[in-house]
């Protein structure tokens, strides 16, 4: 069992923060608060003004030819500022050795509140990525096989009792990125070296205080002539039994990855907040 998973199992003894349940979001593939695929304007954990929150997560995405495992931690302060760290391990099934990448994130709430203000909550963030195993990125023509930075702005709004009496959440993110397949195949390429602006969207319905269903879409840049890079999408169920634990299950459609078509499969993520 991973360190993050062990910590998660111990988490229910800790105290919870002041915010409403499910306003932590779940944990995104690169470590920040949001959906599984895309960051949201929500700040991780349940800390409110004058409070701090610390959490850990484990995520696995298992598709036909590949498996991605992510371990990480995050912390938030005053419901205003969030930092995170994650390690991604990308396995090509049947081939020895993973492609590993570290992701360090920061997010700041600029204005608004997802529930209590008429305008959406808006946050700005960045994700600094360091590719530990860059040989494959070099082989496929990446411009940079060492480090890259993604920048994004997200807007999130909750509409209470707006969908047949159920609460509705939507999020829109605009990302500036050079990352190929999240950065696992490097940054920039022979077809496009610079930054591109790509949109990401999420929507969910909260069926009760602890159960949500929704969908996501993440457009991605197509920088490499060697492989076509498709957008990501998923449909998911997120369960928040209390403020300590979140379990997310999804069916993910990752499209073509490194020339392998129709990479679809199960997404699983477990997050816990310690205080």
pLDDT digits (tens, 9 = 90+) for 51-92: 999 999 999 999 999 999 999 999 999 999 999 999 999 999
Q: Which domain holds residue 178?
A: 3-273
Q: For the chain, what is the mean pLDDT?
A: 92
CA distance 92 to 255: 15
CA distance 152 to 90: 24
Write phi, then psi, for 176 (nearest 5 degrees): -100, 120
CB 52 within 8 A of CB 79: no
Which residues are within 8 A (CB) of 265 and not within 5 positions of it... i.e. 6 or more apart? 61, 62, 63, 64, 251, 252, 254
CATH of residue 254: 2.40.160.40
Which residues are within 8 A (CB) of 241 and not within 5 positions of it... i.e. 6 or more apart? 210, 247
Structure-token pair, residue 95: 């081939």
Task: Report how far apart, in Å, the C-alpha atoms of 230 and of each of 5, 78, 111, 173, 186 are.
Answer: 31, 37, 33, 18, 16
pLDDT category at 16 given cuts 50, 70, 90 is low
SS3 of 137, please?
helix
User: Tokens 């999408």 map to which residue?
Assistant: 233
Q: For the residues 221-246, what does the mean pLDDT come to?
A: 96
Structure-token pair, residue 170: 């939507």
CB 161 within 8 A of CB 211: no
Q: For the residues 4-14, what does the mean pLDDT come to?
A: 35
The model scores a pTM over 0.85 = yes
| Domain count of the fold of the chain | 1
Does residue 12 carry a pLDDT above 60? no
Q: Which residues lie across from 106 on neighbouring strands?
A: 83, 126
Does residue 14 carry a pLDDT above 80? no
CA distance 230 to 253: 10
Which residues are within 8 A (CB) of 104 and not within 5 positions of it... i.e. 6 or more apart? 31, 83, 84, 85, 127, 128, 129, 130
């Amino acid at each position: 069992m991973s360190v993050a998973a062990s910590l998660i199992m111990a988490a229910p003894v800790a105290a919870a923060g002041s915010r409403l349940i499910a306003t932590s979001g779940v944990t995104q593939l690169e470590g920040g608060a949001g959906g599984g695929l895309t960051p949201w304007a929500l700040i991780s954990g349940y800390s409110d003004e004058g409070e701090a929150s610390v959490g850990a997560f484990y995520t696995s995405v298992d598709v036909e030819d590949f498996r991605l495992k992510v371990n990480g931690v995050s912390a938030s302060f005053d419901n205003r500022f969030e930092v995170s760290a994650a390690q991604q391990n990308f396995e090509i099934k049947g081939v020895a050795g993973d492609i590993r990448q570290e992701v360090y994130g920061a997010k700041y709430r600029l204005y608004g509140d997802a529930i209590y203000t008429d305008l959406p909550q808006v946050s700005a963030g960045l994700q600094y990525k360091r590719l530990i195993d860059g040989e494959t990125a070099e082989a496929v023509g990446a411009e940079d096989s060492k480090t890259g930075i993604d920048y994004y702005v997200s807007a999130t709004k909750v509409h209470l009792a707006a969908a047949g009496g159920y609460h509705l959440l939507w999020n829109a993110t605009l990302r500036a990125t050079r990352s190929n397949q999240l950065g696992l195949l490097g940054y920039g390429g022979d077809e496009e070296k610079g930054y591109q602006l790509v949109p990401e969207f999420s929507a969910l319905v909260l069926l009760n205080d602890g159960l949500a269903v929704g969908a996501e879409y993440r457009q991605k840049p197509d920088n490499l002539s060697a492989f076509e890079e498709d957008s990501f999408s998923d449909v998911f169920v997120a369960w928040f039994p209390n403020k300590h634990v979140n379990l997310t299950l999804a069916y993910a459609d990752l499209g073509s990855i490194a020339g392998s078509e129709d990479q679809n499969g199960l997404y699983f993520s477990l997050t816990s907040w310690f205080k």
